[in-house]
């Protein structure tokens, strides 16, 4: 039997088993080291960060600094900046990785799939033809073809140029 090791996934399982221990969207921007926090870009009212537990290489999130649970709780200025950061992130992903498409979405509330239901955020997932195969269906395993470190470096450079 073949085994695919995804040891980084154990951290997510431990966090998920404990429930929400805090809010990553509040805690990570407070860190001084953007590389450690995987923050790719900062705006005045929001920021872009790489998802530590991605569905695909380059899966990132865009969030306001302010801790609010839903889009309708954002000020018009926050909503505009979050959307501008989302568009900038998509342009940067296109430049760095040439995806064939994107899934862009917001999960509002736990029932909708929100892992951090108290802090609204937008997911941007780059997609490529053929990136979905039999592994998730048959083996309940997703194969991620790039390391977080490499994706961060390439995407950070693209974000700075965009």
Residues annotated as catalytic are 121
Give me the sheet containing 60-64, strands edge to edge.
39-42, 46-50, 60-64, 122-127, 101-106
Identify any residues that bridge with 60 across adjacent strands, giving them in sequence order: 50, 124
Residues 6 or more apart in contact with residue 131 via CB below 8 angstroms: 56
DSSP state of 131: -
CA distance 151 to 141: 20
């Amino acid at each position: 039997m073949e085994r695919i090791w995804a040891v980084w996934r154990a951290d997510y399982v431990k966090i998920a088993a404990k429930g929400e221990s805090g809010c990553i969207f509040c805690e990570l921007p407070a860190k001084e080291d953007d590389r450690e926090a995987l923050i790719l870009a900062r705006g005045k009212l929001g920021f872009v960060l790489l998802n530590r537990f991605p569905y695909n290489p380059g899966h990132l999130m865009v969030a306001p600094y302010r801790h609010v649970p839903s889009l309708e709780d954002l000020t018009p200025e926050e909503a505009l900046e979050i959307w501008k950061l989302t568009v900038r992130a998509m342009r940067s992903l296109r430049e760095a990785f040439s995806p064939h498409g994107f899934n862009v979405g917001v999960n509002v509330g736990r029932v909708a799939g929100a892992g951090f239901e108290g802090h609204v955020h937008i997911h941007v997932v780059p997609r490529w033809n053929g990136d979905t195969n039999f592994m998730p269906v048959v083996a309940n395993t997703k194969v991620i073809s790039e390391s977080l470190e490499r994706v961060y470096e390439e995407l950070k450079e693209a974000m700075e140029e965009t």
